[in-house]
Structure formats: structure tokens, C-alpha cells
Amino acid sequence: MRTLFGLFLGALVFTAHAAPPIQRLSLPPGFHIAVYSDDVPGARELARGPDGTIYVGSNNGRVYALTDRNHDGRADTVHVLARGLRNPIGVAFHHGDLYVSAVDRIVALRDIADHLDDPPKPQLVTDRLPDKSHHGGKFLAFGPDGKLYVPVGAPCNICAPPLPFAALWRMNPDGSHRELVARGIRNTVGFDWQPGSGKLWFTDNGRDMMGDDLPSDELNRVDRLGEHFGYPYCHQGDTPDPEYGKGHPCKDYAPPAAKLGAHVAALGMRFYTGTMFPARFHGAILIAEHGSWNRTKKSGYRVMAVRVKGNRVLQQVPLVTGFQQNERAWGRPVDVLPLPDGSVLVSDDLAGAVYRVTYSPPH
């Protein structure tokens, strides 16, 4: 979709910029990565409609829809569904409607699949969310219970804010009956439900300014409603906060299922439910690591696969690396989305792209 000049026409957007250097990326043998679309500036959360349309939130006020009408594994059309929203990073598709986060509110684009070229005006679902911009972007997902799950991050690096901050909530699709799911969460930008057990797992970003190697980002599992995961008192399950930890022993809080590494900025995560990838990836958690900003040597900037068995984390292995070389980043993964054919999409808000990861046995 690259052109020699910028052009805006109806709901389609074409821009002039260099193609992402995906030849720099490394994957395990048999895995391949290709550009699905490189015309989605600020691409953040991904969602899929039943007809195969891919919806993309962004950090630039826009919401996109990508269509691959000739089924060649690359989007042939980019639709702009909304403009001027406040940090609409989160998108979730539900019963024909696209739900979009916008910091202090959630809106819906009704019957969106039939209106990609003439998108409807966003309809308010709820405006009962804090308007703080710090950690104000919200990943969205509908759970197996039909509820809309919405995080509210801490409005700071480290502080002890009252609820509804530093927590994960769920509500009815119309915005009613808000209920606490988990608390003590600094900022989750990715969660999913484990096939079989139905348990909710989520990533959480650790605090800054405790040095290069502390604390680790977390992979967590919710075992009971209202569970407390430690923020701001305890980090990574075993490290008291130097400012808020006194009188709040780590044993009082739920420990992480796994430590993911300091400052990797673990964001979007999904369970891999396909069969295209080798058996060792079946049921694994795929995590997009956006990458560090305040570490002497960069960490993250990759897609990881976390193998799990029931409640136990077995192994963490890289799936896609190479978004930064020699301490210079050209891409920053944000979200992962397994598709029905077993391939996986990866969004990148720095390169403004979505990639597709596939597998075929090496010869």
C-alpha cells in the first residue's frame, strides 16, 4: 500500500514512508514474518470481526479497519473509522459492534462491518472512567462471560491511588454494573482467558526508577475476584517498594505466575489456540514486549512465547526478535492476535505496521 505521495480518499488512507525493515527480524526455524499492512500509524490493540476484518486502535486518535479481500495474507484496504478520539488504543468486537477506549470513556461503532466506508458516529457506552492521561490508555476485551473488561492504570509511576485506579474492572456491554476483578495492578495493557480453565491471565508493567534490573514486569493469573497483586507495596512478588513497602509484606499479595524481565514493557498477550505452529507452542501465551525507555541497555522489543501447563509456567522463549539493534529501535511490538488459520498478527506502533507470522516445516 506504499505510494509515492500522500493521498486521502473517503475512508481510505495512503501515506508515503519507508517500508519496515522486516529482514532484520529473527524467528525460530520454520517461522516466517511478512507485512500485513504498513499504513496503520500508531497501531496498538488488534481485534478481529467474524468476517475477517481486523480492527486496530492507535495512539494518534484514529481507529482503523484492515480488509484482505483477496485472502493473500496482506491487507489490501485500510479504512479510517474514527478520528480525534483521545488515545483510542483499545478495540474489542462484540455482537456486530466495535468498542473503543478513549481514556475517560468507552464508545461503540454500531454494526461496523456494514459501514467501513461510511462509519457511524461513535456512540457513548460509558463516561464513568477517570480522565487521567498517565497510564490512561485502556486495552479492552470481552470475556467468556460476555462482560467487557476494562483496566484503569495507576495515574503515576509510583503512588497509592484510591480505586478505581490500579485495578481491572468488568461491566455489562451497555456500561452498567461495574465490578472489581483484580487490584494492585500498576498498568495492564494485555489480558486473555486460558482455554480449558477459563482463568484470566494478564501482563503488568513494573514501576520505574528502581534501577536497570528491578522490578520485573509480571505475568499474572487471577484465581479469585478482587485479588490484590501488590502494587504499590510489593513488586514482582518478592521486592518491597522503597517508598510504600513498609508494613505491607509481600506475602500478603498474589505473586506473579512469571517474571518477564525489568522494563521490557510487556503489553498485549493472547493464548495461542491455533494448530499452524509446532506443538510446543499450542496453548502458549504470546506476549508483545514494547521495550524499555529508561534502561542503560535496552530490554524487550520482541515477541515472546510463554509455555504453560495448567497454572504452571514452564518456559519463556523468543518468537520474534530484531526490532532493535545496537541500542536503536525501528519497531516496538504492542499486541498479538492469533487468527483462525493459526497465523498470528503483531502490531507495531513505532513502524506503524501490522505483521503476520506464519509457520511451515523447514525442508
Residue 8's pLDDT band (boundaries 50, 70, 90)? very low
**How many helices (H) and strands (E) are present in the chain, helices listed first?**
0, 31
Q: Which tens digit of pLDDT belongs to each residue from 16-39? A: 467 999 999 999 999 999 999 999
171 falls within a domain: yes
CB within 8 Å of 142: residues ≥ 6 apart: 92, 94, 99, 148, 149, 173
Query: Which pLDDT score, from 0 to 100, does residue 363 have?
Result: 77
Q: How many CB atoms lie within 10 A of CB 322?
A: 18
Q: What is the rounded CA–CA span in Å between residue 233 and residue 249?
A: 8
Query: Which pLDDT score, from 0 to 100, does residue 96 have?
Result: 98
Strand 258-262 versus strand 216-222 pairing type? antiparallel
Query: Which pLDDT score, from 0 to 100, does residue 9 have?
Result: 34
5 falls within a domain: no
Q: Is the pLDDT of residue 11 over 80?
A: no
User: CA of 96: how far to CAs of 52, 154, 209, 313, 351, in Å?
Assistant: 12, 32, 43, 35, 30
Query: Which pLDDT score, from 0 to 100, does residue 17 have?
Result: 64
10 falls within a domain: no
Q: Is the pLDDT of residue 7 over 50?
A: no
> What single-letter amino acid sits at 131?
D
Q: Which tens digit of pLDDT belongs to each residue from 236-256? A: 999 999 999 999 999 999 999
Query: Which pLDDT score, from 0 to 100, does residue 2 have?
Result: 38
Query: Which pLDDT score, from 0 to 100, does residue 5 have?
Result: 30
Mean pLDDT for the chain? 95
Q: What is the rounded CA–CA span in Å between residue 20 and residue 62?
A: 21
Question: Mean pLDDT across the stretch 258-279?
Answer: 98
Which of 62, 38, 66 lies closest to 52, judged by CA?
66
Q: Is the pLDDT of residue 4 over 90?
A: no
Query: Which pLDDT score, from 0 to 100, does residue 18 have?
Result: 79
Number of domains the chain is built from = 1
Q: What is the rounded CA–CA span in Å between residue 137 and residue 188?
A: 10
Q: Which tens digit of pLDDT belongs to each residue from 271-325? A: 999 999 999 999 999 999 999 998 999 999 999 999 999 999 999 999 999 999 9
Q: Cell 487471577 maps to which residue?
A: 222
Give the SS3 label for residue 114.
helix
> What single-letter amino acid sits at 278?
P
Q: Which tens digit of pLDDT belongs to each residue from 142-179? A: 999 999 999 999 999 999 999 999 999 999 999 999 99
pTM of the model: 0.95
Question: Mean pLDDT across the stretch 48-68?
Answer: 98
Lowest mean pLDDT among 1-10, 36-45, 204-213, 329-338: 1-10
CATH, residue 29: 2.120.10.30
Query: Which pLDDT score, from 0 to 100, does residue 362 have?
Result: 83
Give the SS3 label for residue 281.
helix
CB contact at 8 A, 331 and 33:
no
300 falls within a domain: yes
CB within 8 Å of 215: residues ≥ 6 apart: 206, 207, 235, 236, 239, 262
Backbone angles phi, psi at 175, to 5 degrees: 90, -5
Q: Where are the beta strands (DSSP E) in 131-215?
A: 141-142, 148-152, 167-171, 179-183, 191-193, 200-204
DSSP H/E element including 359: strand 353-359
182 falls within a domain: yes
What share of the chain in percent tops pLDDT 90? Answer: 94
Domain that holds residue 23: 17-359
Query: Which pLDDT score, from 0 to 100, does residue 14 have?
Result: 45
Q: Which tens digit of pLDDT belongs to each residue from 189-213? A: 999 999 999 999 999 999 999 999 9
Query: Which pLDDT score, from 0 to 100, does residue 310 have?
Result: 95
Q: Give the strand order in the sheet containing 54-58.
A: 7-9, 12-14, 77-82, 63-67, 54-58, 43-48
7 falls within a domain: no
Residue 31 pairs in a beta bridge with: 359
Query: Which pLDDT score, from 0 to 100, does residue 85 have?
Result: 98
125 falls within a domain: yes
Residue 357 pairs in a beta bridge with: 33, 344
